[in-house]
Amino acid sequence: MFRQLSKRVTAAVALVLTAFGTGGTALAAGGAEAPACVTYSTGWRYTFVTNGCEGTQQVEVVYTDGTLGPCRAIDPRQTATFAGYGTTANHPVRVDSCRVDEPVNG
């Protein structure tokens, strides 16, 4: 249920970005979306990403403005903490798979 809500929020953010003339291009920064067993919850200060998968997942958070959080490896049944949306309302819009040995924005 939470993953469905996250996808609805992502779609709503994309719609808002399109309405303001960005054409949704800010959302194109990350890689492939993380598997459904990786979930996240967010607040103004922190975003918590939980790995519910059987194996270790390498993930990064994609924010409204297209920036990426650091790529982190999360073991099964563990949670990693990333930046929240802060006072600028730069909300996380999805969690992508990544490789820890690649540069964050490169």
Which helix (DSSP H) or strand (DSSP E) does residue 2 occupy?
Answer: helix 2-19
Tell whether pTM > 0.95.
no
* pLDDT tens digits along 48-90: 999 999 999 999 999 999 999 999 999 999 999 999 999 999 9
Q: Find the angle CA(56)-CA(96)-CA(93) to the nearest 5 degrees.
A: 130
Residues 6+ apart with CB under 8 A from 79: 48, 49, 50, 51
